[in-house]
Amino acid sequence: MPIDYKAVGLKVGLEIHVQLNTGRKLFCNCPPVVRNDEPHFRVIRRLRPSMSELGEVDPAAIWEFRKHRTFVYEGYYDTTCLVELDEEPPHDPDPESLEVALAVAMMFNAKIFDEVYVMRKTVIDGSNTSGFQRTMLIAHDGLAKFFDYKVPIQTIALRRMRLGRLRRGVTRLFIGLIGLVYHLLRYPREYSPTVLRRLWRWLTTLATALR
């Protein structure tokens, strides 16, 4: 029996990510290339939870730590540097990526924040060498309008790529990424394949989208 989404009060949230093919990565000067050839070196790490600025330890980080996992990261001498390996502090955010994120914010008529901060969240599932995910909130409350659809966009953020759970080549790390978070909507009409395809095409028309 088909589900009557309206009757069950279904709410759907969605986040779309677009990788950026900018001149450099978000927090270092390495090129934003993804490589699958034989790595030049491997680094083995165990990540441990540490206290936040508020003096608390994230329970989710303790949970991950108790799994006693080790992570192997793979890199290349010519396209990765000490920043990806968390042996050097992140550099200033890439101005080109910031510009693209602002352009996307304007494209969707979103309200751009007066100041942009790099926020960090503890993530010790191995997807980041540093144990942190770094995100910058760029804008909020935008609206994507096309045909007779109006899809509200909650936030537009700029963040770096994290690594997959299987292969941990650090070339992916720090590639700039724009994340659009849509408001929870009551009915799935706004999430029909046509709408999603259209939104995706819209975003990938950006000259800097990594295809």
Binding site for Zn ion (CB under 5 A): 28, 30, 81, 83-84
- Specify which residues 144 forms β-bridges with: 151
CB of 159 to Zn ion, least distance (A): 16
Centre a 10 Å sphere on the Cβ of residue 173 and count the other Cβ atoms it contains.
Answer: 27
Asked if 39 and 208 count as a contact pair (C-beta separation under 8 A), the reply is: no
For Zn ion, the closer CB: 129 or 155: 129
- Classify residue 68 as left (phi > 0), alpha (psi -120 to 50) or beta: left
For Zn ion, the closer CB: 104 or 170: 170
For Zn ion, the closer CB: 158 or 180: 158
CB of 50 to Zn ion, least distance (A): 23
CB of 30 to Zn ion, least distance (A): 3
At 183 the three-state DSSP class reads strand
Q: Which residue has the tokens 């491997």?
A: 42
CB of 102 to Zn ion, least distance (A): 24
Asked if 32 and 175 count as a contact pair (C-beta separation under 8 A), the reply is: yes
For Zn ion, the closer CB: 128 or 155: 128
Asked if 156 and 178 count as a contact pair (C-beta separation under 8 A), the reply is: yes
* Max Cα–Cα distance, the chain, nearest Å: 57
CB of 71 to Zn ion, least distance (A): 18
For Zn ion, the closer CB: 137 or 161: 161
